[in-house]
């Protein structure tokens, strides 16, 4: 298993983090101060929201509510997009701006 490949997309205050998750990869638990959408473009994942696990098959759009801890586990090779509102366009700073400590 390898670490997921990440691509960054920006457009007029909207940021999309694209993650290619290999089967068996776990994207770390985190949360945000605001609600946002996530899109499962390909594959099959298990998403844990505040400790509750649910499985999704692509294509699927998921709303992640503000303050909810979430993580993604790839059951099959998957492509997953997290969509955020932000003016930050520096890929080295965007996670620091978006992720709640």
CATH classification at residue 10: 2.60.120.10
Tell me, yes or no, whether 22 lies in a domain. yes
Residue 97 phi, psi dihedral angles, 5° rounding: -75, -35
* Per-residue model confidence as pLDDT tens digits over 80-98: 999 999 999 999 999 888 8
pLDDT average, residue stretch 53-75: 96
Task: Report residue 61 as tokens.
Answer: 């759009």
Asked whether the predicted pLDDT for residue 77 surpasses 50, the reply is yes
Peptide bond preceding 59 in cis form (omega within 30 of 0): yes
Burial of 76: CB neighbours in 10 Å, binned 0-12, 13-18, 19+: middle
pLDDT value at residue 1? 39
Tell me, yes or no, whether 43 lies in a domain. yes
Domain that holds residue 75: 5-93
Give the pairing of strands 36-42 and 60-64.
Answer: antiparallel
pLDDT value at residue 66? 92
Q: What is the pTM of this model?
A: 0.88
pLDDT value at residue 43? 98
Tell me, yes or no, whether 99 lies in a domain. no
């Amino acid at each position: 298993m390898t670490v997921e490949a990440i691509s960054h997309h920006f457009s007029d205050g909207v940021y999309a983090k694209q993650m290619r998750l290999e089967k068996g990869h776990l994207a770390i638990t985190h949360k945000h101060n605001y609600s946002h959408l996530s899109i499962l473009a390909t594959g099959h994942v298990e998403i844990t929201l505040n400790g509750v696990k649910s499985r999704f098959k692509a294509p699927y759009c998921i709303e992640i509510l503000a303050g909810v801890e979430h993580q993604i586990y790839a059951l099959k090779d998957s492509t997953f997009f997290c969509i955020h509102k932000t003016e930050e366009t520096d890929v080295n700073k965007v996670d620091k701006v978006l992720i709640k400590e």
